[in-house]
Chain A
Amino acid sequence: MTEPTAPLEQHGPPPALEMRGITKRYPGVLANDGIDLQVHPGEIHALLGENGAGKTTLMNILYGLATPDAGQILLDGEPVSISSPSDAIRRGISMVHQHFMLVPVLSVADNILLGEEPMAGPVFLDRRSAYGRLRDLATFFGWEIDLDAPVGTLSVGWQQRVEILKAVYRNAQILVLDEPTAVLTPQETREIFTMLRRLTTEGYSIIFISHKLYEVLEIANRITVIRRGRVVGERLPSQTDEEDLAQLMVGREVQLTVDRGTSHPGEPRLVVDDLYARDDRGHEVVHGVSLEVRAGEVLGIAGVAGNGQDELVEALVGLRRPSAGRVQLDGHDVTGAGPRDLHQRGMAFVPADRHRFGLVLSYPLTDNLVLTDYFRPPYARGIMRDEDAIRVQAGKAVEQYDIRTPSVDVAAATLSGGNQQKVIVARELDRDLRLLVLDQPTRGLDVGSIEFIHRQAIAKRDAGTAILLVSAELDEVLELSDRIGVMYRGRLVALMDARSATREAVGLLMATGGSQPQKTDTGAA
């Protein structure tokens, strides 16, 4: 399958990392099927693939978390066997996870030193020399960072940088970055890219895992695409484009942007008036948001995660009581109404955190597909559940929404992220809706699933449903919305027509809220 592309023959020093013929079989799945991968010193090598393609397995093997059934790993030309993460770290391989592994209450320095504490003698910490090295590193990257600031007070972008700094501090030569930009703004992403390029000049090798095709094209020196456990192509960025990569990943032609056509907005469905809400710790994080969503339009709310969007959405769908303000649905006051009430009034909600709100992972698909309707006919009569009716519905949903599952009885946890999201979409969208709230509906999904979910949303819009889309993925907002709003520090700082919105303008609003852009992004937020 590997396409014979010309420029891959090598000269000079051996690759920093070479994985040869890696094969890993799990019961029923061939996760890696003879994968070859070469990463050269000073190279940023992107690894592209849909969820379940085998990227994670491959990286787990590299990091010593899994043992390959066949194949070889070579570091600087020397065959090695890596039996555990500590083994991997010792050999200079470091992994930066998608979910940060930082302790929020510890300082930047402590987080970096954690587990690797420099000792002066058997008892005492040698903080002085450690601080010296950390400062040197920071200077190297051109940062002004307060090493004593608690990590919890840093912005997400800075936390990501601390993670990478941690890896570098531990003398890693090969960094594996698992979707490092998933939660970052375009500006923050750019900062990270600068940092990565800086590292490559020093000879570090970087494996960069991402879904975002344009990012990969921007940052990578070389791109390896895997699908169903096999390498299906290697590309140089100069020789390819997004369509080509998407097709390689998915195995068929993919429409990267949904043709959303023109909208025909109708009457206002959701009217939010001066809404305030507090977070779980009692801090007010939504300050007087007013907005209106009309029938047949998509209102997209962009914003960096943590600017009050979660609380806004929760207040709208009945999971959080607003502290002030008014919410109307179809002209009825529904301020403070519960989820079930709203559900019955024709609202549906696809939550951002599908593991937290959307699904009960230990439940089979059958139960998950009736999670919001379990108590009414035909799924229940009185308190008696009707198992047959539930199964019939599950079978229908699996077929109609193309949920890939061996059976409707398997636990939701066993499905891929995309299929899990399809379960939620199937449950929420499979009826006539007045209002659909989509909160980060495609977070962490692969290209194919994103395409599917976007299509479903547009179809609902065209059927006259009002849609409120909240997303930290700027592209998603730009792609789907008819109108775009930006949340910054709990306020809706802008509301514009999608046709007049540019990526740069919205990105700037997300990062700064529209005030003067800050000159230097310092560590403490």
Chain B
Amino acid sequence: MNLRRTLSLVTIPLLAIVLALIVGAVVIIASSPLVSGHLDLVLPLRAYAALVSGAFGTVNGLIQTIVSASPLILAGLAVSIGFKAGLFNIGAQGQFLVGAVAAAAVGAGLAHAPAPVAIGVSILAALVAGAVYGFIPGFLKAFTGAHEVVTTIMLNYIAIQFVAYLITGPLRATGATFARSPSVGAAELPVLIGRNGHLGILFALVAVPIAWWLLYRTTIGFEVRTVGANPDAARYAGMSPRWIVIATMTVCGLLAGLAGAGEILGITGYMPAGYSTNVGFDGITVALLGRANPIGILFGGLLLGAMRAGSNLMQIQAGVPVQMIDVLQGVILFFLAAELVVRYVFRVRAARAQVTELQTVSRSYGQQTTP
């Protein structure tokens, strides 16, 4: 029974990936004259082969895959826990950024402190910042009914401007030729494995089972899921959808903030004013790909991480631009969202009474669900 259920859950994501690879191949072939000078029908094969070998072909590639996947997994969790509570958290991007800038700021302040202290406090700062940034839309939703899709999108913009202000203003490193925060020094995460497998990958790997346990084995998770599946029934059962919405958004923000800390403390070591990232939005893809289930998100994150890690080799060896990954990702997202299309193409019957995360997405644009 569980096997069948699992199968029916993974069918659509897998088919979406297959369809995306096919569409990607068509795009690659169509644009191959630009690469090879003629219509090159094997180019997709070479591109995909390079992609796979870049992501999994070497130990360093494998580690890079995990490193790239870590923030995506955390952001994916941040989106999917929202889905579980019937919330479409588009704000993972903003929560990621405030977490990142908090880690960068506190890290820079503690650059010469003992490493465990510097790391611990910086991460704590990122967790708090992200949590606060998730709390805001949660609170607004619970007490004013402001839809989280709208508020989180706006908060994303505020986060970008806020980060830019901090980095170009109070946090700007003196002496640097461009606007960036000072280096985080001692707060830099130690490399545990290989060339760049930093401590941050453990955050993601530990967050997955914790999130799973919380969602499926505790009364708190039960309340979250009930509010998401049927807020009226949740009230009937004596739960408080309001507080659950707030708590859920706060936890989402916390996870996204943690992802931000990992990227700053583990990879760049400082934060530039124009910090460019897409982790928060990719988290939506990961969450949909993982069907809002923590285990699924682990795999969804690893898949996107592998594509990010392997894409360079694809460009270097096959000459297919890195942006192909964005095409693949976009097509995957399209097919995940347009699940009906996939079901039609492959004649897959719908699993009954599921797909709550997609309902959350589509519901977000139509009806108002007040807790």
Q: A residues bordering B, Cβ < 8 Å?
A: 317, 319, 338-341, 343, 349, 351, 356-363, 367, 371-372, 374-375, 380, 383-385, 387, 407, 409, 411-414
Q: Is A360 touching B233 in the complex (CB atoms < 8 A)?
A: yes
Residues of B within 8 A of A343 (CB): 238
A362-B354, A413-B352, A414-B352 given; A349·B218 CB < 8 A = no
**B346 near A: Cβ within 8 Å?**
no
Interface residues of B in 291-335 (CB under 8 A from A): none
Q: A360-B230, A362-B354, A362-B356 are contacts. A374–B236 as well, Cβ < 8 Å?
A: no
A414 B353 Cβ-Cβ under 8 A: yes
Q: Given A341-B238, A380-B219, 5 other A-B contacts at CB below 8 A?
A: A339-B235, A363-B226, A374-B219, A385-B218, A414-B352
- Say how far A279's CB is from chain B's closest CB, in angstroms: 14
B217 touches A384 (CB 8 A): yes
User: Please, how many angstroms separate the alpha-carbon atoms of A380 and B238 in the complex?
Assistant: 15
Q: Complex formed: what's the CA distance from A387 to B218 in Å?
A: 10
A357 pairs with B1, CB closer than 8 A: no
**Known contacts A367-B222, A384-B218, A385-B218; is A361 also within 8 Å of B230 by CB?**
yes
**Complex alpha-carbon distance, A319 and B236, angstroms:** 7
Which of B232, B238, B353 interacts with A413 by CB under 8 Å?
B353
Complex: chain B residue closest to A344, CB-CB: B238
B106 CB within 8 Å of chain A:
no
Q: Which residues of B contact A375 (CB under 8 A)?
A: 219
B239-273 contacts to A (CB < 8 Å): none
State whether A338 touches B238 (Cβ < 8 A).
yes
CB neighbours of B1 from chain A (8 A)? 407, 409
Q: How far is the CB of A362 from chain B (nearest CB, A)?
A: 5
Contact call B218/A383, Cβ cutoff below 8 A: yes
How many B residues have CB within 8 A of the partner chain?
A: 20
Residues of B within 8 A of A339 (CB): 235-238
Closest residue to A380 on the B side, CB-wise? Answer: B219
Shortest distance between the CB of A378 and any CB in chain B (Å): 13
Chain B residues, CB < 8 A from A374: 219, 222, 237
Residues of B within 8 A of A372 (CB): 236-238
Inside 8 A of B238's CB, which chain A residues have their CB? Answer: 338-341, 343, 372
Inter-chain contact B236/A385, CB cutoff 8 Å: no
10 contacting pairs across A/B (C-beta < 8 A): A339-B235, A341-B238, A357-B233, A360-B226, A361-B353, A362-B353, A363-B226, A371-B236, A384-B218, A407-B1
A292 to B237, CA, bound (A): 25
Q: Are B354 and A385 within 8 A (Cβ)?
A: no
Whether A319 and B237, one on each chain, are in contact in the complex, defined by CB atoms closer than 8 angstroms, is no
From B219, B229, B236, A363 is in contact (CB under 8 Å) with B229
Cα distance A465–B232 in the bound complex, in angstroms: 26
Which residues of chain B are within 8 angstroms of A319 by Cβ–Cβ distance?
235-236
Closest Cβ of chain A: how far from B9's Cβ, in Å? 13
| Contact of B352 with A411 in the complex, beta carbons under 8 Å | yes
